[in-house]
Structures are given as C-alpha cells and as structure tokens.
Amino acid sequence: MTEDFLKSLNIDPDTVNFVVSVVSPDEMRELNRQYRGKDKSTDVLSFPTLNIAAGQHPSRENFPLDFNHETGKIELGDIVINEREDNPDFLIEHGLKHLLGYHHEGDE
C-alpha cells in the first residue's frame, strides 16, 4: 500500500527509506510532550531528516548529503504510530506526507 502511495507522488519506492515504530499511548504522549509541547497522546508523529518542500523530489541530486551509501536510498525520517489506532496504513501515509514536506492546512 505504501508503495502505491509513493508511486502516486512520482517517487520510486526503491529510492527512499523511512522507519515506522509502533508505541504505547503513554510513550506517544511523552514524545508529543517532548517534541511538540503537547501533553497528550496523538495518533501519529513524524520526524523528518530532510528539509524538504512539498512537491520536491527526494533524490540524490536534490539531497546529495542525505543519500545513504550503504542502502542506496534517501533517508526520509521516522514515523511513530500509536498502537491503539485502527488504521495503521492510513497513519503511515499521513506520516509519510509530513516526511515529504506536506503539512496540515493552517500549519506554517
């Protein structure tokens, strides 16, 4: 499913890498408090490694310093999902959008 999502954004899934972790609601609350200043649990958090703009292509040419020579892929970052959520595929796609520079409407 994630491969299809990446392809819909014209990104070859074999050229990028990201990590998905599943954590308890308490761990999610702590991460949300620590990194966003919000003392409550949430469904998904994203931690991008690139300073990528929405629509910018994650490629070796665009991010030569972020290319992992061992894997041959661009490292996008980490997605953390709350274990109590029912639709992890949706949350991975949502988190992946954030790693790729897309934000919620109204976010700066």
pLDDT one-digit tens code per residue, 36-70: 999 999 999 999 998 899 888 898 888 888 888 89
Q: What is the pLDDT of residue 36?
A: 95
The tokens for 49 are: 């490694």
For the entire predicted model, the pTM comes to: 0.89
Longest dimension (CA), the chain: 40
Average pLDDT over residues 23-32: 97
Residue percentage of the chain with pLDDT more than 90: 69
Do the domain assignments include residue 56? yes
- Number of domains within the chain: 1
β-strand 44-48 against 67-68: which pairing, if any? unpaired
Check residue 37 and give its pLDDT: 96
Considering the domain boundaries, does residue 58 fall inside one?
yes
Does residue 9 belong to any structural domain of this protein? Answer: yes
Radius of gyration of the chain (CA): 14
Residue 105 lies in a domain: no
Q: Quote the domain boundaries for residue 36.
A: 2-99
For residue 108, tell me if it sits in a domain.
Answer: no
Domain presence at residue 104: no
Is 25 part of a structural domain of the chain?
Answer: yes
Say if 57 falls within a structural domain.
yes
